[in-house]
Each structure stands twice: as C-alpha cells, then as structure tokens.
Structure 1
Amino acid sequence: MDSGRSRPMPMEPGILAFHERCEAFYPADAVNASVAQQRRWYDALCAEFDAPSPAGLTRRDEVVAGRIPIRHYRPAEVATDTRIFYIHGGGFVVGSLESHDAICAELAHGARAGLVSVDYRLAPEHVWPAAFEDCYAVLENLLADDRPLVVVGDSAGGNLVAGIVLKAKAEGHSGIGGQALIYPGLGGDLVSGSYVEMAEAPGLSTTDVAYYREVQKAPADSPLAHPLRADDLAGLPPAYITAAHFDPLRDDARTYAARLALAGVDVTYREEPQMIHAWLRARHMSPGAREGFDHLVHGVARLVGTA
C-alpha cells in the first residue's frame, strides 16, 4: 500500500549499489515469503558478499553446553587475553556461523584478539527466550576461565548483546570489559521517531521490524528482550554503539547511548550519515561502510585493550 511518503535514500553511490545488489538476492518483501525461503535468500546474499580470510587466521568449531555450536577465530597476531564474543544479526530468523564468518574474521584480525561466534537457535521454531538462553549460556561458558570478554553484535545480535550484558550485571558476573552494539534493535516505539521517519528506508522497514518482533514472541515488558525498558543502566561495561542514519532502528541506538552516558557509563556513539541497515556487508564496496567498519574495529580494539 502506498503510504504517501517518499522513500528516504542516502546519496553515496557505493551504498546505493550495495542495496541494489542486495535486492537481487533478498527482495524487499522477503518477510512475506516462507522462513525456509528467507533463509535460502539470506544465505545466498551472505555468500555474495563473502571476502577472503585474513592471512594466518585460523578457525575451530566446537559445541558448548551440549548443544550450542560456536566458532573460535584466532588471528595471526593476538595482542591481548581479552576475547570478543560475537552474536550475529538476522531478525532472530536468519543467520548462522557462516553468514557472519567473514565479518568475524576481519574483526578479530583488526582488533588483534581471539573471537568466538555463536549459532543460536532461530525463530519461529524456537521463540523467546531460546536465542537469549543460548547466548547467555555461551557467555557464562566463556567467562568461566576468568579471561576478560567484550561482547559484540549487529542488529538482532545487538539486541541479544545488550540483554545478556544486563542479565550478567544483575547476576553479579564480572569479566565483561565492554559491549559493542551495531545498528541494534532495542525495543523502541514503532510509531515515533526514526520508526516513522525511516519507515520505508532501504534495507529494513518498520514493517519488517514489526514482523521480526512478532516472530520472536518476546514479552513486551521484558528489559532483557527490549533493553530500552531497563530502569537502571548504571554499572554496565563501556560501550561502543554505531547506527545507520537511514534505518528505522537508528533512534534505538541513539537513545540507548544517551541513557548509558547519563547513567555514567563510558560510551562512544557513532552514526554513519550515509549508511543503511546491514552496512557491515558493504565494507568492501562503499567508502562510508569502510570508514564505519574501521571505526568499529578501532572501537572494539579499544575495549579489548589493543588500540
């Protein structure tokens, strides 16, 4: 249905070319297809933007807690004992160890730190709190060896990062040295702010966000599922938060960063002015995405202590 609003679009040619290339693999109305079809499209999209692995980086797969697949990345140069725990995006519906493999490899390489990614259970087969429980179980497993950890995630993964960090604080866990949220969905009001201004932005629409929330079936009043509902953010670990200007989730990131700062948390907030949702995948074809990724790597490196 025509909403009467013009579609907000960035001007950078690189990100526009990226978006056009994405829609050839993952159409704008993908959420109307079956979940199986969505996953096939998403896997093809991710493969299209795959990148060579950094020289000397090694991978090792493992299963923790008897059922949760994880992948260890060790770059050629490791300059810290602090590890990165990466949680992928995909609306809680798509994504895997493979979908974000190149991103994880480049982040580990750039930050000069070991990295662990997780293959959490997906909706609709596994609704809330399955994904959250898987990520929290891996977090506890990683913290058990008393090595510091920085938790990083994009989109739905950013939501899961913020939620498990809140739970870890409530349960008295130490050892989380930082959190990095990349265009996270944190439970903002779907009828105001960027959810209205960027409702039809390329890459992700407000209708898509509503669909993913419905599929996940998280309780609306849970701050672990919707971290913007948390009453007390004091005492959380330092944060690096990055958002895309042309993204309905933009104000979730803005608001959470502001609330963290007001609570006394050391927070760096960066908004990529010409970027759209999922710009991480455009880092090898868009100058703005490359700049954003470089800043992300530096922000994570600062959190792990290698910057």
Structure 2
Amino acid sequence: MDYEKQIDEETWAFIRETGRHYPEDTVDLSIDEQRAVYNKMAAAFRKPRSEVVEVTEKTVETVSVRIYEAGDPTRTVMYCHGGGFVVGDLNSHDDVCSEICEQTGYRVVAVDYRLAPENEHPAQFDDAWTVLQWIATTYDGGVVLAGDSAGGTLSASVAHHARGRVDAVLGQVLIYPGLGGEHTLPSYNEHAHAPMLTLEDVKFYADVRSGGTPVSNDPTYAPLQDSDFAGLPPTVMFSADCDPLRDDCRAYRDAIHAAGGVAEWMNETGLVHGYLRARHSVGRARDSFERIVLAIEGLGQEIWPYDE
C-alpha cells in the first residue's frame, strides 16, 4: 500500500508527532507503562476547555463519569473513549467531549469504564450499560450514543442491548469503530500495516480484552456478532480510509440496511486511525470532526439529512 500518495503531509506530520510521544514499540511495554505513555501522548495533544463549558464529576453506581454542560441542554450524549479497552480515561478525551458539548449545546456524559486486562469482557459493556440506564432515568430529551475506536464498539453494543429495554436512544455516531468484522474483509489485508493501527495491534487488544479466549455470538462484545440488526437507532459511522477497521463500518451499514434500518457510512479519505487528535492540525480531520458534530446534533434533533 502506497501511503506516501494516500496520506497528505499534514497527516504525516500528525503521525510523526504521535510517534514521538507514543512509539510503535509501546505495545511491548507492560500495561501500566503503556497507559503512562498513552496518557502523556494524549496530554500533548489536548486542547483547553472552553470557558462556557461547565464540568462536574460523579460516580454512577461504581462507574466514574464526567459531565459537560453549556447553558441548558435539551439532549445528552453518552461518550465512550477509545484506547483498545486497555488505555485511555476521562482525561484522554476531555477536549473532544468539551468541544462536542460546546458545538452542539448538548450535555455530554463521558464514561470511565473499567479497562482490560484487569477487567475482561463484559466489564466494559456492563459499565457503559449502567451509565446509559442512569442517563435515561436522570435526564429528559433522549440520548445520542457516541464513541471512537473501542468506544465506538461499546456504543454500538449498548445500542443493540437497549432495544426493548431503554427507549431514550435517539441514534449512534461511531468513529472508526471496531465492530467485530471478519478479518477476511478487504481493509484488514489492504491496511494490515497501516500507520497508527496495524492488524497485529487489533489482535493484541482483542486478546487482552477477552483474556485470550475467542468470543463468539455475543453482540455485547462485538455488534457484528449479532443475528438481528432490526430496530437499531439511526446510525452514522466515520471510518479512516487507511485503517484495518475501515470495512467493519461497511459491513455494519449493510447489515442495518438489510434489516430495514437507516445507517450512513462516511469513509474519510487519507486519514488514519486516531485522527480525532488531529482535528486542530489536519484539514481533513478538521472537516471530519465537523461532520461528526453535525451528525450528533442532527440525531439529537431526530433529523436524518442523509440520502438513502
């Protein structure tokens, strides 16, 4: 794959800057060391919160959450952070959540779910599900599920489980999610050695999350393992074109369409996994983040602007 042609110089600069803070061999470190390196990398890219955004923290049962509000929000976004279920926390995606709150006017509830390997599946799903139930009984106006990478996986898993249980879900916005697609999908071969995320990385994080035991027929683990895609909320997905996970979005969109649902997939040309951190330095990432925010805002207003 000729990434020199596919990826523009702004994005290469972002990749190099990420590599300075989070080298490729970080995966060989201990889990605690990986988390420390990741947190330093996230801090290096983090932007300050807007003064109009007020932040509070609380514990929902045993799950820590951070709540972002600006003014008098009429909708709530539940946001699950990325990090392969192994790294990341409330701080690693603090600025993303703050900006979503500021730009949509919606309340954002960030979920500090338990991490693997100390907590194997279904701990992460259980925590996200706990927070969704709390949101549904605490706030009026409905909730949009959102998340990037592993957080997108969790959001979709919660959306599947919510059918017939929680009627407050207005939609889901998934950002370069891993949805449990077969590794025979084209992107897993085409981008097995992509910058920022490789196929080996995908396998490593899956093994850590599952304790090394393959999981099957469990949509709380991987939404594409479900046998029923009917009744899901309106779904908007954003993939990075240079990412082994790209075609999970295609497969998920097609499964929802086949079940009579509505889903939109936007594949972002020339971008790589983790591009949310590049939204202030890379034009393509900035444009994608604008589309992401508009999708969240639209679903919150129960507007579907996409052609089917």
TM-score range, shorter chain: over 0.9
Structure 1 residue 91: deviation in Å? 0.2
Normalised TM-score (structure 1): 0.93
Distance 2:175 2:257 in 1: 17
Contact persistence 1:196–1:248 (CA under 8 A): yes
Letter of the 1:69 counterpart = S
Who is 1:84 aligned against? Answer: 77
In the alignment, structure 1 segments of 5+ residues that lack a partner are: 1-5
Q: Secondary structure at the match of 2:99?
A: helix
* 1:11 and 2:13 matched: no
Give CA deviations for 1:16-35 in whole Å, capped at 9, x if unaligned: 10000001111113222111
Distance 1:221 1:97 in 2: 30
Who is 2:298 aligned against? Answer: 302
Structure 1 residue 52: deviation in Å? 2.1
Who is 1:149 aligned against? Answer: 143
Shifted more, 286-295 versus 21-30: the winner is 21-30
Distance 1:12 1:27 in 2: 21
Letter of the 2:32 counterpart = A
Contact persistence 1:152–1:181 (CA under 8 A): yes
Distance 1:113 1:146 in 2: 12
Contact persistence 2:185–2:247 (CA under 8 A): no
Distance 2:240 2:197 in 1: 11
* 1:72 and 2:67 matched: yes
Tell me which of 23, 41, 45 is aligned to 2:41: 45
In the alignment, structure 2 segments of 5+ residues that lack a partner are: 304-308
Distance 1:69 1:184 in 2: 23
Distance 1:276 1:219 in 2: 27
Who is 2:192 aligned against? Answer: 199
* 1:124 and 2:120 matched: no
Letter of the 1:84 counterpart = V
Distance 2:111 2:185 in 1: 33
Letter of the 1:290 counterpart = R
Distance 2:26 2:85 in 1: 14
Who is 2:234 aligned against? Answer: 238
Give CA deviations for 1:185-222 in whole Å, capped at 9, x if unaligned: 01112244111110000000000000000000062331
Structure 1 residue 108: deviation in Å? 1.1
Give CA deviations for 1:87-141 in whole Å, capped at 9, x if unaligned: 0010000000000000000011111111100111000000011111011011111
Letter of the 2:68 counterpart = Y
Could you say what the CA RMSD is over the residues aligned between the two structures, in angstroms? 1.5
Contact persistence 2:217–2:226 (CA under 8 A): no
Give CA deviations for 1:159-203 in whole Å, capped at 9, x if unaligned: 00111111111x432010011110000111224411111000000
Distance 2:134 2:185 in 1: 39
Normalised TM-score (structure 2): 0.93
Distance 1:175 1:40 in 2: 36
Letter of the 1:285 counterpart = S
Structure 1 residue 146: deviation in Å? 5.8
Name the count of aligned residue pairs: 298
* 1:161 and 2:162 matched: no
Distance 2:128 2:219 in 1: 16
Letter of the 2:128 counterpart = C
Who is 1:3 aligned against? Answer: none
Letter of the 1:15 counterpart = T
Distance 1:303 1:198 in 2: 31
Moved over 3 A (4+): 6-10
Q: Relative CO higher for 1 or 2, CA cutoff 8 Å, sep ≥ 6?
A: 1
* 1:30 and 2:26 matched: yes
